[in-house]
A = this chain, B = another copy of it.
Amino acid sequence: MMQMRDLAKSSGEWLKGAGPHSDVVISSRIRLARNLVQFPFLAQATRDQKQRVLDIIRERLVAVPESSKLTFVELTAADPVDRSLLVERHLISRELADGDWPRGVAFCETETISIMVNEEDHLRMQVLRSGLELADAWRQIDRVDDALEAELDFAFSAQLGYLTACPTNVGTGMRVSVMLHLPALVITREIEKVFQAVAKVNLAVRGLYGEGTQASGDFYQISNQRSLGKSELQIIENIESVVPRIVEYEKIARDRLMAENRASLEDRVWRALGQLRAARTISSEETMHLLSAVRMGVNIGLIKDLSIAAINQLFIHIQPAHLQELRGEVLDTDERNVERASYIRSRLNGSASESH
Protein backbone atom coordinates (compact mmCIF):
# COMPACT_ATOMS: atom_id res chain seq x y z
CA MET A 1 0.00 0.00 0.00
CA MET A 2 1.03 3.52 -0.77
CA GLN A 3 2.44 5.40 2.20
CA MET A 4 0.73 8.68 3.09
CA ARG A 5 4.10 10.44 3.07
CA ASP A 6 4.62 9.34 -0.54
CA LEU A 7 1.14 10.52 -1.41
CA ALA A 8 1.89 13.91 0.16
CA LYS A 9 5.06 14.25 -1.91
CA SER A 10 3.47 13.21 -5.17
CA SER A 11 0.97 14.95 -7.33
CA GLY A 12 -2.27 13.61 -8.83
CA GLU A 13 -2.76 13.30 -12.58
CA TRP A 14 -5.49 15.94 -12.38
CA LEU A 15 -2.93 18.56 -11.25
CA LYS A 16 -0.72 18.19 -14.29
CA GLY A 17 -2.28 21.26 -15.92
CA ALA A 18 -3.02 19.50 -19.20
CA GLY A 19 -6.18 18.74 -21.15
CA PRO A 20 -8.60 21.02 -23.00
CA HIS A 21 -8.93 24.59 -21.66
CA SER A 22 -6.43 23.81 -18.91
CA ASP A 23 -5.42 27.47 -18.53
CA VAL A 24 -8.84 28.07 -16.98
CA VAL A 25 -10.25 24.60 -16.27
CA ILE A 26 -8.28 22.94 -13.49
CA SER A 27 -10.14 19.67 -13.41
CA SER A 28 -13.24 17.72 -14.36
CA ARG A 29 -14.88 15.44 -11.87
CA ILE A 30 -17.73 12.95 -12.15
CA ARG A 31 -19.06 11.05 -9.18
CA LEU A 32 -21.75 8.42 -8.98
CA ALA A 33 -23.71 7.61 -5.82
CA ARG A 34 -24.79 4.01 -5.31
CA ASN A 35 -26.29 2.00 -2.45
CA LEU A 36 -26.44 -1.72 -1.76
CA VAL A 37 -30.01 -2.94 -1.96
CA GLN A 38 -29.65 -5.37 0.97
CA PHE A 39 -28.72 -2.64 3.51
CA PRO A 40 -30.59 0.43 4.80
CA PHE A 41 -29.22 3.86 3.92
CA LEU A 42 -26.44 4.90 6.27
CA ALA A 43 -28.63 7.15 8.45
CA GLN A 44 -30.66 4.05 9.35
CA ALA A 45 -27.85 1.50 9.37
CA THR A 46 -26.33 0.10 12.55
CA ARG A 47 -22.58 0.20 13.07
CA ASP A 48 -22.49 -3.49 12.31
CA GLN A 49 -24.35 -3.03 9.04
CA LYS A 50 -21.96 -0.25 8.08
CA GLN A 51 -19.03 -2.55 8.77
CA ARG A 52 -20.58 -5.22 6.54
CA VAL A 53 -21.16 -2.68 3.75
CA LEU A 54 -17.50 -1.72 4.02
CA ASP A 55 -16.32 -5.32 4.02
CA ILE A 56 -18.47 -6.36 1.07
CA ILE A 57 -17.53 -3.42 -1.10
CA ARG A 58 -13.85 -3.69 -0.24
CA GLU A 59 -13.87 -7.34 -1.21
CA ARG A 60 -15.55 -6.67 -4.54
CA LEU A 61 -13.13 -3.93 -5.53
CA VAL A 62 -11.05 -6.60 -7.28
CA ALA A 63 -13.65 -6.36 -10.03
CA VAL A 64 -12.58 -2.80 -10.81
CA PRO A 65 -10.33 -2.57 -13.91
CA GLU A 66 -6.67 -2.40 -12.84
CA SER A 67 -7.78 -2.98 -9.25
CA SER A 68 -4.29 -4.18 -8.33
CA LYS A 69 -3.23 -0.54 -8.47
CA LEU A 70 -5.85 0.54 -5.95
CA THR A 71 -4.83 1.65 -2.46
CA PHE A 72 -7.45 1.06 0.18
CA VAL A 73 -7.46 3.21 3.31
CA GLU A 74 -9.59 2.13 6.25
CA LEU A 75 -10.41 5.55 7.68
CA THR A 76 -11.22 4.40 11.22
CA ALA A 77 -7.59 3.32 11.48
CA ALA A 78 -6.14 6.44 9.83
CA ASP A 79 -4.80 9.30 11.90
CA PRO A 80 -6.35 12.78 11.59
CA VAL A 81 -3.52 14.24 9.51
CA ASP A 82 -3.73 11.35 7.02
CA ARG A 83 -7.48 11.80 6.75
CA SER A 84 -7.10 15.54 6.13
CA LEU A 85 -4.45 14.80 3.54
CA LEU A 86 -6.98 12.76 1.58
CA VAL A 87 -9.49 15.64 1.80
CA GLU A 88 -6.90 18.16 0.57
CA ARG A 89 -6.16 15.77 -2.28
CA HIS A 90 -9.88 15.70 -3.19
CA LEU A 91 -9.87 11.91 -2.73
CA ILE A 92 -12.43 11.97 0.08
CA SER A 93 -14.91 14.51 1.44
CA ARG A 94 -14.48 16.36 4.73
CA GLU A 95 -17.59 14.47 5.98
CA LEU A 96 -15.99 11.09 5.32
CA ALA A 97 -12.76 12.22 7.00
CA ASP A 98 -14.57 13.41 10.13
CA GLY A 99 -16.87 10.38 10.53
CA ASP A 100 -16.58 7.86 13.36
CA TRP A 101 -18.19 4.83 11.72
CA PRO A 102 -16.65 2.08 9.58
CA ARG A 103 -15.68 3.74 6.29
CA GLY A 104 -12.89 3.81 3.77
CA VAL A 105 -11.60 4.89 0.42
CA ALA A 106 -9.87 3.19 -2.47
CA PHE A 107 -7.93 5.21 -4.98
CA CYS A 108 -5.56 4.47 -7.80
CA GLU A 109 -1.97 5.62 -8.12
CA THR A 110 -2.75 8.42 -10.56
CA GLU A 111 -5.59 9.57 -8.28
CA THR A 112 -7.97 9.65 -11.24
CA ILE A 113 -10.25 7.13 -9.54
CA SER A 114 -11.43 7.21 -5.95
CA ILE A 115 -14.13 5.06 -4.42
CA MET A 116 -15.53 6.19 -1.07
CA VAL A 117 -17.35 3.68 1.06
CA ASN A 118 -19.97 4.82 3.58
CA GLU A 119 -19.89 8.51 2.86
CA GLU A 120 -23.45 9.82 2.44
CA ASP A 121 -24.18 6.75 0.32
CA HIS A 122 -22.73 3.25 0.61
CA LEU A 123 -20.63 3.86 -2.45
CA ARG A 124 -19.44 6.99 -4.12
CA MET A 125 -17.19 6.58 -7.11
CA GLN A 126 -15.29 9.52 -8.47
CA VAL A 127 -13.16 10.15 -11.51
CA LEU A 128 -11.01 13.28 -11.47
CA ARG A 129 -9.19 14.49 -14.59
CA SER A 130 -7.06 17.44 -15.61
CA GLY A 131 -8.69 20.07 -17.88
CA LEU A 132 -12.14 19.79 -19.42
CA GLU A 133 -12.26 16.03 -20.00
CA LEU A 134 -15.83 15.03 -19.19
CA ALA A 135 -16.38 12.58 -22.03
CA ASP A 136 -13.22 10.71 -21.10
CA ALA A 137 -14.04 10.89 -17.40
CA TRP A 138 -17.49 9.52 -18.13
CA ARG A 139 -16.09 6.53 -20.08
CA GLN A 140 -13.73 5.83 -17.20
CA ILE A 141 -16.29 6.01 -14.40
CA ASP A 142 -18.85 4.12 -16.45
CA ARG A 143 -16.41 1.20 -16.68
CA VAL A 144 -15.85 1.24 -12.92
CA ASP A 145 -19.59 1.42 -12.30
CA ASP A 146 -20.31 -1.46 -14.70
CA ALA A 147 -17.61 -3.60 -13.13
CA LEU A 148 -18.97 -3.04 -9.62
CA GLU A 149 -22.59 -3.38 -10.67
CA ALA A 150 -21.75 -6.84 -12.02
CA GLU A 151 -20.64 -7.78 -8.48
CA LEU A 152 -23.00 -5.76 -6.29
CA ASP A 153 -26.74 -5.33 -6.16
CA PHE A 154 -27.43 -1.56 -6.35
CA ALA A 155 -30.67 -0.04 -5.07
CA PHE A 156 -32.51 0.91 -8.28
CA SER A 157 -36.09 1.84 -9.16
CA ALA A 158 -37.33 1.37 -12.73
CA GLN A 159 -39.28 4.61 -12.35
CA LEU A 160 -36.71 6.81 -10.53
CA GLY A 161 -33.33 5.29 -11.32
CA TYR A 162 -30.62 4.81 -8.69
CA LEU A 163 -31.87 5.38 -5.14
CA THR A 164 -29.72 7.56 -2.89
CA ALA A 165 -29.70 8.76 0.71
CA CYS A 166 -30.45 12.33 -0.34
CA PRO A 167 -33.32 12.83 -2.83
CA THR A 168 -31.27 15.35 -4.83
CA ASN A 169 -29.05 12.53 -6.02
CA VAL A 170 -31.81 10.12 -7.03
CA GLY A 171 -31.87 9.16 -10.73
CA THR A 172 -28.45 9.05 -12.25
CA GLY A 173 -26.77 9.48 -8.85
CA MET A 174 -24.36 11.59 -10.78
CA ARG A 175 -22.70 14.85 -10.01
CA VAL A 176 -20.48 16.42 -12.62
CA SER A 177 -18.20 19.26 -11.44
CA VAL A 178 -15.71 21.34 -13.30
CA MET A 179 -13.23 23.41 -11.32
CA LEU A 180 -12.49 26.76 -12.90
CA HIS A 181 -9.85 29.40 -12.18
CA LEU A 182 -11.49 32.76 -12.84
CA PRO A 183 -9.20 35.50 -11.48
CA ALA A 184 -9.85 38.06 -14.22
CA LEU A 185 -13.63 37.80 -13.85
CA VAL A 186 -13.19 38.37 -10.12
CA ILE A 187 -10.99 41.45 -10.73
CA THR A 188 -13.41 42.91 -13.28
CA ARG A 189 -16.36 42.03 -11.02
CA GLU A 190 -18.12 40.14 -13.79
CA ILE A 191 -18.14 36.90 -11.84
CA GLU A 192 -21.68 37.57 -10.58
CA LYS A 193 -22.91 37.65 -14.16
CA VAL A 194 -21.42 34.20 -14.66
CA PHE A 195 -23.21 32.91 -11.57
CA GLN A 196 -26.51 34.25 -12.85
CA ALA A 197 -26.04 32.73 -16.30
CA VAL A 198 -25.05 29.40 -14.76
CA ALA A 199 -28.08 29.36 -12.45
CA LYS A 200 -30.40 29.82 -15.46
CA VAL A 201 -29.27 26.50 -16.93
CA ASN A 202 -29.72 24.74 -13.58
CA LEU A 203 -26.06 24.53 -12.70
CA ALA A 204 -24.65 25.37 -9.26
CA VAL A 205 -21.49 27.27 -8.30
CA ARG A 206 -19.51 26.08 -5.30
CA GLY A 207 -16.17 26.71 -3.61
CA LEU A 208 -13.00 24.70 -3.86
CA TYR A 209 -13.87 21.90 -1.45
CA GLY A 210 -17.46 21.35 -2.56
CA GLU A 211 -20.81 22.16 -1.10
CA GLY A 212 -20.96 24.97 1.43
CA THR A 213 -17.32 25.96 1.05
CA GLN A 214 -16.08 29.38 0.00
CA ALA A 215 -14.45 30.05 -3.30
CA SER A 216 -10.83 30.61 -2.43
CA GLY A 217 -8.00 31.69 -4.69
CA ASP A 218 -10.58 32.53 -7.38
CA PHE A 219 -11.49 28.85 -7.87
CA TYR A 220 -15.07 27.94 -8.57
CA GLN A 221 -16.77 24.60 -9.13
CA ILE A 222 -19.61 24.47 -11.62
CA SER A 223 -21.83 21.41 -11.20
CA ASN A 224 -25.22 20.03 -12.07
CA GLN A 225 -28.09 20.63 -9.65
CA ARG A 226 -30.32 17.84 -10.96
CA SER A 227 -29.56 14.20 -11.35
CA LEU A 228 -33.14 13.11 -12.13
CA GLY A 229 -35.07 13.24 -15.44
CA LYS A 230 -32.00 13.55 -17.59
CA SER A 231 -29.56 10.98 -18.82
CA GLU A 232 -25.92 11.02 -17.78
CA LEU A 233 -24.90 12.18 -21.24
CA GLN A 234 -27.44 15.02 -21.20
CA ILE A 235 -26.07 16.26 -17.89
CA ILE A 236 -22.53 16.12 -19.25
CA GLU A 237 -23.53 17.83 -22.49
CA ASN A 238 -25.14 20.68 -20.58
CA ILE A 239 -21.93 21.36 -18.66
CA GLU A 240 -19.74 20.72 -21.71
CA SER A 241 -21.65 23.44 -23.56
CA VAL A 242 -21.60 26.01 -20.75
CA VAL A 243 -17.99 25.73 -19.56
CA PRO A 244 -16.26 26.84 -22.79
CA ARG A 245 -18.36 30.01 -22.73
CA ILE A 246 -17.20 30.81 -19.19
CA VAL A 247 -13.63 30.07 -20.28
CA GLU A 248 -14.12 32.51 -23.15
CA TYR A 249 -15.46 35.21 -20.78
CA GLU A 250 -12.44 34.74 -18.53
CA LYS A 251 -10.03 35.02 -21.45
CA ILE A 252 -11.72 38.15 -22.76
CA ALA A 253 -11.47 39.65 -19.26
CA ARG A 254 -7.75 38.75 -19.12
CA ASP A 255 -7.14 40.31 -22.53
CA ARG A 256 -9.02 43.44 -21.58
CA LEU A 257 -7.06 43.78 -18.33
CA MET A 258 -3.81 43.41 -20.27
CA ALA A 259 -4.93 46.01 -22.81
CA GLU A 260 -6.41 48.56 -20.42
CA ASN A 261 -4.67 48.00 -17.08
CA ARG A 262 -1.41 46.36 -17.94
CA ALA A 263 0.64 48.11 -15.25
CA SER A 264 -1.86 47.26 -12.56
CA LEU A 265 -2.20 43.65 -13.74
CA GLU A 266 1.58 43.16 -13.92
CA ASP A 267 1.84 44.77 -10.52
CA ARG A 268 -0.64 42.33 -9.05
CA VAL A 269 1.10 39.33 -10.58
CA TRP A 270 4.67 40.30 -9.66
CA ARG A 271 3.78 41.44 -6.19
CA ALA A 272 2.03 38.14 -5.56
CA LEU A 273 5.15 36.25 -6.62
CA GLY A 274 7.30 38.68 -4.63
CA GLN A 275 5.26 38.10 -1.49
CA LEU A 276 5.34 34.34 -1.88
CA ARG A 277 9.09 34.40 -2.35
CA ALA A 278 9.62 36.71 0.61
CA ALA A 279 7.11 35.66 3.27
CA ARG A 280 8.33 34.08 6.50
CA THR A 281 4.85 33.24 7.72
CA ILE A 282 1.71 32.90 5.62
CA SER A 283 -1.80 31.50 5.98
CA SER A 284 -3.19 29.04 3.46
CA GLU A 285 -5.91 31.52 2.54
CA GLU A 286 -3.42 34.24 1.64
CA THR A 287 -1.29 31.70 -0.20
CA MET A 288 -4.24 30.61 -2.32
CA HIS A 289 -4.99 34.22 -3.11
CA LEU A 290 -1.40 34.99 -4.14
CA LEU A 291 -0.90 31.72 -6.04
CA SER A 292 -4.05 32.54 -7.97
CA ALA A 293 -2.47 35.76 -9.26
CA VAL A 294 0.79 33.94 -10.04
CA ARG A 295 -1.11 31.25 -11.95
CA MET A 296 -2.79 33.93 -14.03
CA GLY A 297 0.62 35.54 -14.59
CA VAL A 298 1.92 32.30 -16.06
CA ASN A 299 -1.24 31.88 -18.18
CA ILE A 300 -0.97 35.33 -19.72
CA GLY A 301 2.73 34.94 -20.39
CA LEU A 302 4.11 37.43 -17.85
CA ILE A 303 5.95 34.84 -15.79
CA LYS A 304 8.23 32.41 -17.57
CA ASP A 305 10.01 29.31 -16.28
CA LEU A 306 7.27 28.43 -13.82
CA SER A 307 4.94 25.65 -14.90
CA ILE A 308 1.20 25.46 -14.32
CA ALA A 309 1.76 21.93 -13.00
CA ALA A 310 4.17 23.28 -10.36
CA ILE A 311 1.69 25.94 -9.30
CA ASN A 312 -1.25 23.52 -9.28
CA GLN A 313 0.82 21.25 -7.05
CA LEU A 314 1.67 24.13 -4.70
CA PHE A 315 -2.03 24.85 -4.23
CA ILE A 316 -2.35 21.37 -2.75
CA HIS A 317 1.00 21.04 -0.99
CA ILE A 318 0.56 24.21 1.06
CA GLN A 319 -2.57 22.83 2.75
CA PRO A 320 -2.21 22.00 6.47
CA ALA A 321 -2.16 18.20 6.29
CA HIS A 322 0.28 18.15 3.37
CA LEU A 323 2.68 20.42 5.22
CA GLN A 324 2.55 18.25 8.31
CA GLU A 325 2.89 15.03 6.35
CA LEU A 326 5.87 16.41 4.42
CA ARG A 327 7.47 17.67 7.61
CA GLY A 328 6.69 14.47 9.46
CA GLU A 329 5.24 16.12 12.56
CA VAL A 330 2.08 17.70 13.90
CA LEU A 331 2.28 21.50 13.70
CA ASP A 332 0.02 24.15 15.22
CA THR A 333 -1.30 27.06 13.13
CA ASP A 334 1.65 29.38 13.76
CA GLU A 335 4.16 26.63 13.04
CA ARG A 336 2.31 25.68 9.88
CA ASN A 337 2.35 29.28 8.67
CA VAL A 338 6.13 29.40 9.10
CA GLU A 339 6.55 25.94 7.50
CA ARG A 340 4.29 26.94 4.62
CA ALA A 341 6.30 30.10 3.92
CA SER A 342 9.52 28.12 4.04
CA TYR A 343 8.13 25.43 1.72
CA ILE A 344 6.93 28.03 -0.78
CA ARG A 345 10.29 29.81 -0.78
CA SER A 346 12.08 26.54 -1.44
CA ARG A 347 9.80 25.93 -4.42
CA LEU A 348 9.67 29.41 -5.91
CA ASN A 349 13.00 31.08 -5.35
CA GLY A 350 15.25 31.19 -8.32
CA SER A 351 12.76 29.49 -10.56
CA ALA A 352 10.78 32.23 -12.27
CA SER A 353 12.19 34.92 -14.48
CA GLU A 354 10.58 37.94 -16.01
CA SER A 355 9.38 38.11 -19.56
CA HIS A 356 11.34 41.25 -20.39
Contacts and interface: CB of A to CB of B under 8 A. Distances in A.
A274 B270 CA distance: 9
Among A263, A273, A278, A334, chain B packs the most CB atoms within 10 A around the CB of: A278
A295 to B, nearest CB: 16
A274 B338 CA distance: 17
Interface in A271-297: 271, 273-275, 277-282
Contacts of A281: 263-264, 267
A170 interface: no
A263 B270 CA distance: 23
A271 B267 contact: no
Nearest to A277: B274
Contacts of A264: 280-281
A267 B334 CA distance: 13
Contacts of A86: none
Nearest to A335: B263
A109 interface: no
Contact of A271 (B270, B273, B279, B334): B279
Contacts of A266: 280
A341 B278 CA distance: 17
A275 B280 contact: no
Interface string A110-144: 00000000000000000000000000000000000
A31 to B, nearest CB: 40
A10 to B, nearest CB: 29
Nearest to A338: B263
Contacts of A263: 280-281, 334, 337-338
Contacts of A341: 267
Interface in A241-265: 263-264
Contact of A267 (B267, B274, B277, B280): B280
A277 B338 CA distance: 22
Given A266-B280, A271-B280, 15 more contacts: A263-B280, A263-B281, A263-B334, A263-B337, A263-B338, A264-B280, A264-B281, A267-B279, A267-B280, A267-B282, A271-B278, A271-B279, A274-B278, A275-B275, A275-B278
25 contacts: A263-B280, A263-B281, A263-B334, A263-B337, A263-B338, A264-B280, A264-B281, A266-B280, A267-B279, A267-B280, A267-B281, A267-B282, A267-B341, A270-B278, A270-B280, A271-B275, A271-B279, A271-B280, A273-B278, A274-B274, A274-B275, A274-B277, A274-B278, A274-B279, A275-B275
